[in-house]
Amino acid sequence: MKTLVRNIILLAVMVAAFGTSNAVAQTLRDASYNYVGKIAPNGTVRNSEYGSVGFFNADGTIANAKGKTVGRIDGKMQIFDKDGERLGYVNADGTVCDGDSKPLGKIEIKTGKVTDEEGKVLGYANGISIQRVAAYYFFDFFK
């Protein structure tokens, strides 16, 4: 669980740096740069087989494929689980921290590369907003 939370928070960092138009689908890739899914302009999250695995709502809540809320990211870049417990947050410089302010990793804003606290690459999500990238790591949409 600790590793999952770290990975989730790290990808949330990624999102902090990438605010682009939602006019086209946004692709998510793993550490080996393999395609794992995409996020459609309407907020639907699809896996590599094009199956729906979740949805991003305009209010920051994130739902699974059955429409059940699994988490939320607020406008201050704080990440919460389904029960409202804060899992972590993202700093303006791309550093991702857990709920106890321990650094978990960082994103490289220009490349979209997300790394853990040891520099290991976790994935790529260039051009995706933080609310949407968080699902990749925090909510296991592509596992």
pLDDT digits (tens, 9 = 90+) for 17-61: 333 334 455 788 888 999 888 888 788 888 889 898 888 888 888
So what's the pLDDT on residue 91?
78
What CA–CA distance (Å, rounded) separates 2 from 66? 25
pLDDT digits (tens, 9 = 90+) for 100-121: 998 888 777 677 787 888 999 9
pLDDT at 65 over 60: yes
Which of the pair, 68 or 115, is modelled with greater confidence? 68
In the chain, what are the domains? 2-138 (2.40.160)
What CA–CA distance (Å, rounded) separates 3 from 112? 21
User: pTM of the predicted model, to two decimals?
Assistant: 0.67
Q: Say how many CA atoms lie within 13 Å of 132 toward its Cβ.
A: 28
For residue 81, give the 3-state DSSP assignment.
strand
- Percentage of the chain exceeding pLDDT 90: 6
For residue 52, give the 3-state DSSP assignment.
strand
